[in-house]
Chain A
Amino acid sequence: MPEVDVLVVGAGPAGSVAALEAKRAAPELDVLLLERDRAVGAPVRCAEGVGDAGLREFADPDGAAWVARKITRVVFVAPDDTEVSVAERDVGWILDRTRFDAFLAAQAGGDGAELLVGTEAAGMTRAADGRWHVRTRGPRGEGSYRAKVVIGADGVEAMVGRWAGLDTRVPARDMESCAQYVVQGIDFDPGAIYLQFGRDIAPGGYAWIFPKAVGIANVGLGMVALRGDGRNARDYLDAWVARRYPRGARTAYTVGGVIVHTTIKRTCADGVLVAGDAAHMINPLSGGGIVNAMKAGRLAGRAAAAAIREGDTSERRLAAYHRTWMDLLGEDHLKYYRLKHALEQLDDACFNALARTVNTIPLRERTLGRIFTHALVRHPQLIPVAARFFL
């Protein structure tokens, strides 16, 4: 049975960064990166937006082939279509995930990690010597590997975590059901992202327009089915697109789940680390997970490398990974989770009124702090919401 030091399951942002960081931290280690799909980065199940600062920790977006658009403006759209611009600076980027994920995987490969596409992990068991035996299925049939540490970066399915005995299940109220079209031939500001809220538009979530090019955008939404009226995410999206862009051509379609929960209680077991969506490391308010996944992947890759070098891959040794993640972002996600649930108590009329209040502040003075103060003075019903965020 082939033997590796680190076996990473899933070549998304978490897995590729984990593989390359493990290899950089300990070049003598054998690192294997498995990707179930036949191409890294495809199919795209993502709105493809990332913040500028977080992205720059890992890659330089200026002039990169894996960037679709630079974003300099965020437009919040109230349920009654009142638009509120709130930022005018280097906000972020819309990626081309097919190219971006391949770029990250190629970096891992360049650092000496081995990449196998079209190969899925089918199960794993722990042997008496402490190694994990991972069964695989690929183009050449079934195989198996022995690994000192397995990093589960396998996304929403989170099978590695499950096989290791971690609880990666999600209550239905914390699962956003998402659907998205690529719509062409539509009119919007290609330097802005648009986020629209509303009980009839995307209950428990929001609808988005993320530009890919002039006249072309990812148009999608995420909603919590338990808060809906029985229609599924695609039904809600069809209604929204038909209203906003009746003449747009829908040239691509994707669906998926975004876990809007908080980090799972245990992100490691003996010889196992889980990172990214698989560990629910998603900002539960925004649904953003790409930068979180890369940050977690970096921590996981380094933790695996250090543990193997020391000859101790026990859960006790690996638990430092969990604590570091919680300090870095996990604790923040607990606050965002509370805020999300507080905001869900507000009705559409409140959001409409809030949008008008914010629009009375001149755009240049529209800092978050000023919006916040204004909002609390004019809309005292928001005070408990704010309190829940800060407590």
Chain B
Amino acid sequence: MRHGRAGEVAVVNLAVCDRCGLCLPLCPPEAIHLQLDELVVDPMTCTGCRKCVAPCPVGALSMAYA
């Protein structure tokens, strides 16, 4: 398991997330899943690469210290 830079990982704001699934194929280690219609980021798999953050159409993803 690898951790992101300075321990930062992606976190999702479920109040803003529209469950569109756009971020799933952007995630190189496949740390993002839609489970029972809820977006889940696995902090143990996320490498903190930030590739999912800017493309989110509603800004639901951001980085936080795990």
Tell me the A residues contacting B by CB distance below 8 Å. 36, 45, 120, 137, 155-159, 162, 168-170, 172, 175, 177-179, 225-226, 228, 230, 232-235, 254-257, 259
Contacts and interface: CB of A to CB of B under 8 A. Distances in A.
B22 to A, nearest CB: 3
Interface string B22-35: 11111110100010
Interface string B1-40: 0000000000000000010111111111010001011000
A339 B36 CA distance: 39
Contacts of B56: 177, 232
Task: Give the interface residue-count category, chain B.
Answer: 20 to 34
A259 B21 CA distance: 12
B60 to A, nearest CB: 9
Q: Is the interface of A mostly helix, strand, loop or mixed?
A: mixed
A179 B36 CA distance: 23
Given A175-B22, A254-B18, A256-B57, 12 more contacts: A157-B21, A157-B24, A169-B25, A169-B27, A169-B28, A172-B55, A175-B25, A177-B55, A177-B57, A232-B54, A255-B20, A257-B25
Contact of A178 (B24, B30, B37, B57): B57
Interface of B: 18, 20-28, 30, 34, 36-37, 51, 54-59
Contacts of A233: 57-58
B36 A137 contact: yes
A179 B58 contact: yes
B51 A156 contact: no
A179 to B, nearest CB: 5
Contact of B26 (A36, A120, A175): A175
B20 A45 contact: yes
Contacts of B37: 36
B52 to A, nearest CB: 8
A219 to B, nearest CB: 15
Given A157-B21, A255-B18, A257-B21, A170 B26 contact: yes
